[in-house]
Amino acid sequence: MDIMSKATPKLGVVISYTAIILLGGAQNAAANGCPVTQAVVVSNAGSQSAKGSLSQAFVVPPAYEQVSGRIRFLSNEWPQYFGTEYNDTYLARLTAPGKVEIIASGNVNSSSWSSGLLGYNGATPEIRYNTDLSGLVGQTVQLAYEVQDVGDTIVDSALAIDAVQVIRTDQFVPVAGQGGALTGASTISGSFGQAVKLTFTNQNILGTTISVKDASPFGQTKESIILPQQSVTFTFVAFGEEPMGWDFEVSTNSDAFVVSYGVESTWTEGMPQNPCY
């Protein structure tokens, strides 16, 4: 009974509320000369459907390098059912023949929560994701987002998905004055664009682990193994006006760590400011 009382459908509220606000957002973007983009909310609302999903399959054109975006998990299971078996989940994945990558995953209990929006009791912070398409040119790729019920089909959750960005190879330019060698934990900082590509080459005769953390509040951490004289590239994406400040914390689990690195970005000194994201 208590669960039923929490299960007030919010979708109608969402639709009417957003219909009013929609025009305002469009006008803001248009005023900056930026493309007018929207977001999508996928929910597991309704007792008949334990799953909501949004997906697109497409052939990867030449020079596509990355898709990136951000999501927020929304739920009515927070705060009352936090820590219980009523623990709805979300998942974002990229699949292609020969490749499967879990881009993001989580549930009510694994998430940190702040006050709700769109009629949901709670909302997570932004969760950024980006994934590499450069090795998949000519292949069919599917990008899918899902939210699923766990434990009940009564109390609803949702996944908010922002406009997806496609970053092409030719958008990256080398950043002059950046790059060098690292022999231990270090920080790489600078004013870059919305997408930053860090390439590390292992200059040691031993293999090493490497971890790079985007130090911003919603930043991602990326890890890899680099064998001697081999390279690894990490791409980070944020959403905001270009240029923007970035801090990357580089660390390793290995004793031997001698790497050189270079930086490419979608914005560098001399380029005009870009208000669109």
Partner 1 sequence: MLRLFVLFTSLITISLTSLQAHASNNGTAACETLSEPFKQLATMTLDPAVGNPPKVALCHRVANAEKHYAKQANDKAIQELDKYIASISKRNGKFVEESYAAALISEAERVISVISGDFEPETMTINGGVFGFNDKAPVSGATVSVSFIESGSTFTTTTDSDGLFSIEDLTEAGVYVVDVTTADGKTGTAQGSLLETENTSSVLVTVDLAGSGAIYGTVYDEAGFPVPSALVTAIFPDTDRKYSAISTSDGSFTLTNVHGDGTLILVGFNNDTGASGSTTGVLSSFASQITRNVTITAPQTVNPEFLNAGFENGLEGWSTEGSVTIVDRNLIFTTPDSGN
First to last CA, the chain: 45
Q: Does 110 bind partner 1 (CB under 8 A)?
A: yes
Residues 216-255 that bind partner 1 (CB under 8 A): 216-219, 223-227, 230, 232, 238-241, 244-246, 253-255
Distance (Å) of CA 237 to CA 83, 101, 132: 32, 17, 12
Q: Does 212 bind partner 1 (CB under 8 A)?
A: no
Which residue in the set 30, 185, 206, 271 belongs to the binding site for partner 1 (CB under 8 A)?
206
Residues 52-71 that bind partner 1 (CB under 8 A): 52-64, 67, 70
Buried b vs exposed e over 140-174: b needs ≥16 C-beta within 10 Å?
ebebebbbbbbebbebbbbbbbbeebebeeebbee
Return the number of the residue (208 or 235) whose C-beta is nearest partner 1: 208
Residues pairing with 81 in the sheet: none
Q: How far apart are CA 215 and CA 197, in angstroms?
A: 15
Q: Which residues, 6+ apart, have CB-to-CB distance to 256 below 8 Å?
A: 204, 205, 206, 208
Residues 175-204 that bind partner 1 (CB under 8 A): none
Q: Does 99 bind partner 1 (CB under 8 A)?
A: yes
Residues 116-155 that bind partner 1 (CB under 8 A): 117-118, 123, 126, 134-138, 140-144, 146, 148-151
**102's tokens:** 């879990």
Q: What region, left, alpha or beta, does residue 44 occupy, with left being phi > 0 and alpha being psi -120 to 50 degrees?
A: alpha
Span near partner 1 by CB under 8 A; candidates 95-103, 171-179, 180-188, 264-272: 95-103
Q: Does 256 bind partner 1 (CB under 8 A)?
A: yes
Q: Binders of partner 1: how many residues, by CB under 8 A?
A: 112
Return the number of the residue (6 or 164) whose C-beta is nearest partner 1: 164
Tell me the closest approach of the beta carbon of residue 177 to partner 1, in angstroms. Answer: 19
Return the number of the residue (146 or 264) whose C-beta is nearest partner 1: 146
Residue (of 122, 109, 105) closest to 83 by Cα position: 109
Span near partner 1 by CB under 8 A; candidates 89-97, 175-183, 262-270: 89-97
